[in-house]
Amino acid sequence: MRDRPVAGTSAGKAAPGAVPWLWDRPRKASTPRRPGRSGGLPEAVLFDRDGTLVADVPYNGDPARVAPMPTAPAAVAALRRLGVPVGVVSNQSGVARGLLTREQVAAVRRRVDELFGPFDVWAVCPHGPEDGCGCRKPAPGLVLAACERLGAAPERTVVVGDIGSDVRAASAAGARGVLVPTPVTRPEEVAAARETAGDLLAAVRLVCPTGSEAGRGTHPGPTRAPARQRPRATGGAR
């Protein structure tokens, strides 16, 4: 179930303490920022979680139900071979709705890291659409927080997701957004997206042209997401 923004709730005064949850891998203090990589590679690629990296299970707090989307592991592996840091930016309003706990969100995060290898940063918004936070996509807070943790410039960062709020968050942060549509992506979201790709591996080839061979041979061709219609919530889901 997609965690879509509710019309009229993107503005407003943020609730006290409305900040994202962040997890990252320990980095050496001497680890340099990676500006101006040869061939114009991005300084970081940030992925939406549900419906992008893994199948969208509404308000999932069960690690056993985590399943990678087609080509997702190959796409992440290709970026790592190129030396591009990877992160996750995810709305999880189930916390605000009383349907998830922080530990459940963390357990699912650990399972995703087991399946893909540890991501360099996770930025998660636990707030609901009425909380007025600055991190719930399409607001830029998650993207900016992840970039800060990675030492990446937002304008040299790519955000990949499956719904309009993902690419709108990228735009709001000054980053590049790539939409990877699934059967539940709305037609108007596809039409509004500046860049689209058929799957995550195609998205990596789009944003890393000089490293396009990195993912070759790992998959015979573009694969669309499973044609399973997920229910829509009138006020947004995740």
Long-range contacts (CB closer than 8 Å, 24 or more residues apart) made by 7-16:
9/129, 9/130, 9/132, 10/138, 10/139, 11/132, 12/132, 13/132, 14/131, 14/132, 14/133, 14/134, 15/127, 15/131, 15/132, 15/133
3, 48, 56, 199: the catalytic one is: 48
| Res 30: pLDDT | 35
Intervals of the chain under pLDDT 50:
1, 5-14, 16, 28-33, 35-37, 212, 217-236
| Res 25: pLDDT | 78
CB atoms within 10 A of CB 52: 27
> Domain 45-215 belongs to what topology?
Rossmann fold (3.40.50)
Please name the helix (run of DSSP H) or strand (run of DSSP E) that holds residue 35, with its range, or none.
none
Cβ contact 66:108 at 8 Å: yes
SS3 of residue 126 by DSSP: coil
- Say whether 199 is catalytic: no
Cβ contact 86:44 at 8 Å: yes
Interatomic CA distance for residues 133 and 3, integer angstroms: 15
| Res 18: pLDDT | 77
| Res 2: pLDDT | 56
| Res 209: pLDDT | 85
- Among 167, 178, 109, 161, CA closest to 140: 167
Cβ contact 199:223 at 8 Å: yes
CA atoms within 13 A on the CB side of 73: 11
Interatomic CA distance for residues 144 and 157, integer angstroms: 10
Domain ranges of the chain: 45-215
* C-alpha distance across the termini of the chain, in Å: 6
pLDDT of 39-75, one tens digit each? 589 999 999 999 999 999 999 999 999 999 999 999 9
- Identify whether 118 is preceded by a cis peptide bond (ω within 30 of 0): no
Angle value at C-alpha 133, between 24 and 120, nearest 5 degrees:
15
50, 56, 131, 166: the catalytic one is: 50
SS3 of residue 23 by DSSP: strand
| Res 211: pLDDT | 54
Tell me the Cα Rg of the chain.
Answer: 16
Cβ contact 97:130 at 8 Å: no
- Say whether 62 is catalytic: no
